[in-house]
Structure 1
Amino acid sequence: MKTKYIDLIDQTYYFPQEEFNLKNNSLQFHGIDLMKLVEEYGTPLKFTYLPQISNNIQKAKRWFANAIEKHNYKGQYHYCYCTKSSHFEHVLTEALQNDIHIETSSAFDIDIVNKLISQGKLSKDNYVICNGFKRDKYIQNIAKLINSSHKKCIPIIDNYEELGLLTEVINGKFNIGIRIASEEEPKFEFYTSRLGIGYKNIVPFYNREIKDNEQISLKMLHFFINTGIRDTAYYWNELLKCLKVYIQLKKVCPSLDSLNIGGGFPIKNSLAFNYDYQYMIDEIINQIKLACEEADVPTPNIFTEFGSFTVGESGGAIYQVLYQKQQNDREKWNMINSSFITTLPDSWAISKRFIQLAVNRWNDEYERVLLGGLTCDSDDYYNSEQHVNAIYLPKFNKSKPLYIGFFNTGAYQETIGGFGGLQHCLIPQPKHILINKDADGNITTKLFAEQQTADDFLKILGYHE
């Protein structure tokens, strides 16, 4: 009878996979010996594998290039990174090595843009797409960037008032985009996105406020679907509605030449994950081309804004199982040496699931467990994998430490959790390391941040003068 953890994984999924394999009874991630990381840095531990950021960018560029060639599409493709997914310098530095562009969401994003420009990592050849609801500081920062001759900075109009606010502080001509307020998926509590301008109002808004304003050139229509780019009737219906607006707008606005399809690609959340990226891109390019040809308008340049897809699969977290509590005849709680609420907040806030695997002891027998965090909050737990509705791990043994990993956690978790700030029940932020490859392909590691100390918390809380 096959009762080992390795047997369970092998008969449940195709294993090994591109990023995961087994060596000496322990898990490897992109060739990284995770137990060596544990031995060197301890746990809890967060890591960022920087090469995966470039890997995913290059994959997407290749998929779009293939589709453009296949369909003889005349527009150009531009890859943008959503900084809100992860603002860290090491993430932006890695991403910008791939000839991409930036999408911002708030005033302080522009300060990051300015810092990248001063470091020579971002130039006036890079588009800066400014999204989000804009008020004083954000408007001022956008204006300073454009007034400094960064003409590829394109503010996306989110509401009617923003246009006037921008024209008051920007010198000379500048380009803009307009965001469509897309209709949300039926399961949402509201019907229309709070962001952007309604489908039916965009052409009248252009005719009323933009058409005869010589200072403004409308270049982009921005389309964003909150649930991301997925092969669903809802997505294709919203895309076709967007294309109708683009065509109507293009017929009265010659300067319009770009369509930002926003939204994000899904990332791997299970070893059973299956998503045909190339098929989706082929269909998107084909649908845009067919709609434009039928209406006899030129095909637009395509912009995408990928955040989680860019950085999500670069991140991971490793914990140690400290203790097992048998709470009743069925429930065994494996307590980790950290907190899910503080280190993987999406698992608590939106019930998001990540890839979860044992790091060591793959040849041991397995058992079904629940995973609990260290806070006193009853919601600080993790109870199922994406496609199994349960968690199975090697059996707990006090004399044989068990380490577990969560993977593809690189997007949003640090910013939502409040990196370097207060944490629930004062559970410290884990140590964070950066993993890279040198010119010879050898794995290198670098400590980015130590685990928070009691003194860090006391200073924030005002207990130090």
Structure 2
Amino acid sequence: MNTKYVDLINQTFDFPQSEFTLEEDNLLFHGLDLNELAETYGTPLKFTYLPQITNNIIRAKNWFSNAIKNHNYNGTYKYCYCTKSSHFKHVLDEALKNNIHIETSSAFDIDIVESLKTDGKINDDTFVICNGFKREQYITNIARLINNGHRNCIPIIDNYEEIDLLSNEIEGKFDVGIRIASEEEPKFEFYTSRLGIGYKNIVPFYNKQIKDNPKAELKMLHFFINTGIRDNAYYWNELLKCLKVYTSLKKICPSLNSLNIGGGFPIKNSLAFDFDYEYIIDEIVNQIKLACDEVDVDVPNIFTEFGSFTVGESGGAIYEVLYQKQQNDREKWNMINSSFITTLPDTWAINKRFVMLPINRWKDSYERVLLGGLTCDSDDYYNSEQHINAIYLPKYRKDKPLYIGFFNTGAYQETIGGYGGLQHCLIPAPKHILIHKDNNGSITTEIFRDQQKSEDLMGILGYNNNSRTKTTTKSNSNTELQLANS
């Protein structure tokens, strides 16, 4: 009788898969023995498998190269990494090995760009696409970057005031893009994205503020929808509307030569994940070419800003089941030695699902469970998988540890969770391991950061006197005099 966990997986999915294989009853991830990793470094544990970043960049570049060749597309393709997905230096270092470009979203991103330039990771030929609503510091930092010679920095105009603000601080000419405020899906609470400028207003905006501006030259139209790139009627309809704006703008603006279709590629969220990236890219290139040929304008160079697709599948987390609580006749709670709210905040905030698999004991019998975190919060749980609306794991045994892994968690979880700072209920951030693979296929690991200690949190909270920042306040003599007289 097939009652083992491995039988359940084999009956439900096509397994093994490219990144997941078994050795005895332990799970391997890209050939790495995760049970050995957990026993060596302890749990809870976060890890980043750096080679997957390069793998996904190469895949996307090849797909676009093939599509451009298939359609005799007379334009180039530029892969940009969306830094807000993960700002870590080890992520940028790995990504930039692959001759890519960068998309930023806030003022301090420019500090990272300048640091990368100092280290020789990028140069003036690297495109820096600056998205986001631009406050004073962001404008100043963009201007500094351009004034220091980085002419391939392209601020994407998000509102009507940004052209004047940039013109006031940038010396000489500079390139800009315009972001389209796309219309959202009908299920959304609002009709139009808060980001960018509406479809109907883009040509009038160009004519009024850019066309005769002696300093700004329009180079790029930026298009992105909140739900990302999907093979559905909504996405294709919005893309065609974008292309109508591009071709109309191109007729009156010869300098316009690039279309940025943003990011939004989905990543694997279960063993049943199925997405035809190659077909989608081929059809996007085809639709752009058809739209431009129809009105006899040159096709644009294509830019993308893949964030989650770049880094998401490099990340993972490993926990140990500490205890099982039988709360009623039907519900068994496996308590992990960390918190979902703090380490995988998207599971709590937007009900996101990741690939979840046991690390060991695949040949044990299984049971249906719920997973609970350590915080005193009723929302700190994980109760279903994308494919079966339930969680099945090897049966809990007090005398035999059970490790579980969450995979493809590399995008956004650290920044949303406040990496290195306070966590809910003061649950410490886990140890973080970096995994490298050399040209010979040998895997090495290193500790990037140890688990948070009590003194780290006490210092942030101000209980450690040595950690307090001394501040001085400039006194107001008139106020002091008034108080004295009173």
* Cα contact 1:226–1:263 (8 A) shared by 2: no
- The Cα offsets for residues 29-88 of structure 1, whole Å up to 9 and x where unpaired, read as 000000110111000000000000000000000000010000000010000000000000
Aligned to 1:34: 34
* Cα contact 1:431–1:449 (8 A) shared by 2: yes
Aligned to 1:20: 20
Question: What is the one-letter code of the residue matched to 1:72?
Answer: N
Aligned to 2:296: 296
SS in 1 for 2:164: helix
Aligned to 1:419: 419
Cα distance in 2 for residues equivalent to 1:92 and 1:314: 13
Query: Which ranges of structure 2 fall in alignment gaps of 5 or more residues?
Result: 466-486
Q: CA deviation at 1:213?
A: 1.2
Question: What is the one-letter code of the residue matched to 2:85?
Answer: S
Question: What is the one-letter code of the residue matched to 1:268?
Answer: K
Aligned to 2:348: 348
- The Cα offsets for residues 151-205 of structure 1, whole Å up to 9 and x where unpaired, read as 0000000000000000000000000000000001111111100000000000001
Q: CA deviation at 1:462?
A: 0.2
* Cα contact 2:263–2:307 (8 A) shared by 1: no
Aligned to 1:324: 324
Question: What is the one-letter code of the residue matched to 1:121?
Answer: K
Aligned to 1:238: 238
TM-score of the superposition, structure 2-length normalised? Answer: 0.95
SS in 2 for 1:149: coil
Aligned to 1:401: 401
Aligned to 2:63: 63
Q: How many residues align?
A: 465
Aligned to 2:82: 82
* Cα contact 1:176–1:217 (8 A) shared by 2: yes
1:184 aligns with 2:184: yes
- Say which one has the larger Rg: 2
Cα distance in 2 for residues equivalent to 1:94 and 1:226: 27
Aligned to 2:268: 268
- The Cα offsets for residues 84-116 of structure 1, whole Å up to 9 and x where unpaired, read as 000000000000000000000000000000000
Alignment of 1:3-14 (within 5 A): 3-14=3-14
Alignment of 1:58-457 (within 5 A): 58-457=58-457
Runs of 4+ in 1 over 6 A off after TM superposition: none
* Cα contact 1:259–1:302 (8 A) shared by 2: yes
Cα distance in 2 for residues equivalent to 1:181 and 1:439: 44
* Cα contact 1:134–1:162 (8 A) shared by 2: yes
Question: What is the one-letter code of the residue matched to 1:204?
Answer: P
Q: Identity of paired residues, percent?
A: 77
Query: Which ranges of structure 1 fall in alignment gaps of 5 or more residues?
Result: none
Cα distance in 2 for residues equivalent to 1:262 and 1:34: 34
- The Cα offsets for residues 246-279 of structure 1, whole Å up to 9 and x where unpaired, read as 0110000000000000131100000000000000
TM-score of the superposition, structure 1-length normalised? Answer: 1.00
Cα distance in 2 for residues equivalent to 1:98 and 1:279: 23
User: RMSD of the TM alignment (CA)?
Assistant: 0.5
Cα distance in 2 for residues equivalent to 1:2 and 1:440: 39
Cα distance in 2 for residues equivalent to 1:329 and 1:209: 68
Q: CA deviation at 1:439?
A: 3.3
Cα distance in 2 for residues equivalent to 1:358 and 1:254: 57
Q: CA deviation at 1:440?
A: 2.1
Cα distance in 1 for residues equivalent to 2:172 and 2:179: 23
Q: CA deviation at 1:438?
A: 2.2
Cα distance in 2 for residues equivalent to 1:192 and 1:296: 30
Question: What is the one-letter code of the residue matched to 2:420?
Answer: G
Cα distance in 2 for residues equivalent to 1:179 and 1:25: 51
Cα distance in 1 for residues equivalent to 2:28 and 2:112: 34
SS in 2 for 1:90: helix
* Cα contact 1:128–1:154 (8 A) shared by 2: yes
